[in-house]
Structure 1
Amino acid sequence: MALSSNVMGAINFVAILLSIPVIGAGVWLATEPDNSCVKLLQWPVIVLGVLILVISLAGFIGGFWRIPWLLILYLVAMLILIILLACLVVFIYMVTSKGSGHLPPSRAYFEYRLDDYSGWLRRRVRSSYKWDRIKSCLSSTQMCAELNQSYTMAQDFFNAHDITPLQSGCCKPPTECGYTFVNPTYWISPINNAADMDCLQWSNDQMQLCYNCNSCKAGLLANLKKEWRRVDIILIVTLVALILVYLIGCCAFRNDKTEDLFRKYKQGTYT
């Protein structure tokens, strides 16, 4: 019996530790400027991580102090959480399966198109009500000002590899418009204003820039895709580990109940 209690306590302690990367992934998303503006994924991840922590703690207490009803609660609740975590993993993969950057002529950075991304993600940024809030949040960051500090010469900017999707989509006009570089956030004399609707949306007003452009929305989704994919990897690893821990816990619980029944049977036979 002591061995079973120790096993249940140990595996639930491992489950407690497994909640930390889930909570950490959600907190990391919340600190990223784009995710903090959109507020889509971080709270589901954080809430799920906290629930795993609470249920694992309940299982640890139930296993260590041999409280059967608490162990049963743990087994049922953890199964539900594992299913929810698996659904979240699949959902993130599905909504981030589409979309990639396009390399414009004579440029080292990528540009992005809104129609390349999944319909679910596009709906999060297409309505003017949602986008006005996101745009206001994005324009308050320093991401475009950082480009002006990093690049003063046109060719250096055109050869830059470290421009983020958000900076590419929101801080400059699309390359096909043919604007002339003055600095990364100030462009003049477009050659073809009709090449893309975003060409007309561009403004040298430092609070406007291309925040009203579809390229900015696409850059945001490209950033979200990159960050969500990283989180998905963490969640997949955690999911596999949780499943293993859960199966071991089920076996330990079953063996413990079998020992109890066998002990009661022997006591009934020999007394």
Structure 2
Amino acid sequence: MVRVSNFIVGFLNCISLVLGLTAITIASFFYVHSSTHCQKELSDPLFVSGIVLFIVSLLGLIGSCCRTNAILLIYLIVLFLLIVGLVVFIIFSFLITNEDAAKAVSHKGIKGFRTGDFQNWLKNHFVNGKKWNEIRTCLKDSKSSCCKPPSECGFNSQNATFWIAPKTGPAVDDSDCKAWKNQQQTLCFDCNACKAGFVDSIRSQWENLLIANLCALVFLIFTYIVGCRAKRNNKHSYNNKILSRKGE
């Protein structure tokens, strides 16, 4: 059983080690070759995640293959902390992507402690404030639907990004129709429809991230259980060797 548990831990950490190296490589590629600000912004968290995954996997690989319980103990402690952190992040992701749960928890309090506004967290974090200026640049680079006014405004198209309002004014009395500007840096990036569409897109991405994190949590818990088994078996094997030497 000693060999089996150590083999499984080593095998799983070989996989995560390759994933860590892949993340580091992709992040480095984005940083060197990307032409947009948004692509470069993605490289930082991806690079940090790759480094953390690489180091943790290396600890697990050394501890299991060399049967070094001291290193394996450090690995298990770090793995446990990652599991706790991932559980907290999964709960947070669920609250900001599930409308009913967000409404139930937002602004509630227990013994004087009040929770945050989970219902509007995505909107407050990404749309309101200075953050939107950076997001506008990303949307412009991706040639999003915010590059044209809402169809209900009844604007006449001169080209892809130049629209003229009817002489009688917009077809509907909507703030988005008034927010449209033909300047390339403005267009409809300040329109409520653009912001709402972006928030919906981010929420969908967070839902996918939630599923991925749940799979990662199962993987980490399984690895942790096998790692604990490998550590215990290593200790048992070491004690048997000491006893056999004394018996000689």
* Structure 1 residues 25 and 89: CA distance shift in structure 2, 3 A: farther
Runs of 4+ that moved beyond 6 A: 20-35
Moved more, 73-82 or 225-234: 225-234
* Residue correspondence of structure 1 range 91-240 to structure 2 within 5 A: 91-98=92-99, 118-139=119-140, 141-143=141-143, 166-167=144-145, 170-181=146-157, 185=161, 186-189=163-166, 190-192=170-172, 194=173, 196-240=174-218
Aligned to 1:251: 229
Instruction: Give the direction of change, closer, same or farther, for the CA distance of 1:256–1:142 in structure 2 (3 Å limit).
Output: closer
Residue identity matched to 1:236? L
- Structure 2 unaligned residues grouped into runs of 5+: 100-117
Check 1:142–1:82 CA distance in 2 against 1; reply closer, same or farther (3 A cut). closer
Q: Given residue 222 of structure 2, which amino acid in structure 1 is its aligned partner?
A: L
Cα pair distance change 1:25/1:91, threshold 3 Å? farther
- The one-letter amino acid of 1:36's match is C
Letter in 1 for 2:219: A
Alignment correspondent of 1:260: 238
**TM-score relative to the length of structure 2:** 0.70
Task: Give the match's secondary structure for 2:130.
Answer: helix
Q: Once the two structures are superposed, what CA deviation does each residue of 1:30-73 show, in whole Å capped at 9, x if it has no partner?
A: 9999992895x875565344312211111211222232211110
After superposition, the C-alpha distances for 1:63-115 in whole angstroms (9 at most, x for unaligned) are: 222322111100101111122233333333332334xxxxxxxxxxxxxxxxx
Decide whether the 8 Å contact of 2:150 with 2:176 is kept in 1.
Answer: yes
Q: Percent identity?
A: 31
Structure 1: 5+ residue stretches without partners = 99-116, 144-165
Question: Does the CA contact (< 8 Å) of 1:63 and 1:71 recur in 2?
Answer: yes
- Give the alignment's Cα RMSD to 1 decimal: 3.9
- Give the Cα separation in 1 of the matches to 2:165 and 2:235: 77
Distance, in Å, in 1 between the alignment partners of 2:28 and 2:84 is 22
Deviations 1:193-250 (A, max 9, x none): x3x3222101233332111112222222223233333343333323222221221121
Q: Which amino acid aligns with 2:171?
A: I
What TM-score comes out, normalization by structure 1 length?
A: 0.65
The CA distance in 2 between the partners of 1:35 and 1:118, in whole Å, is: 29
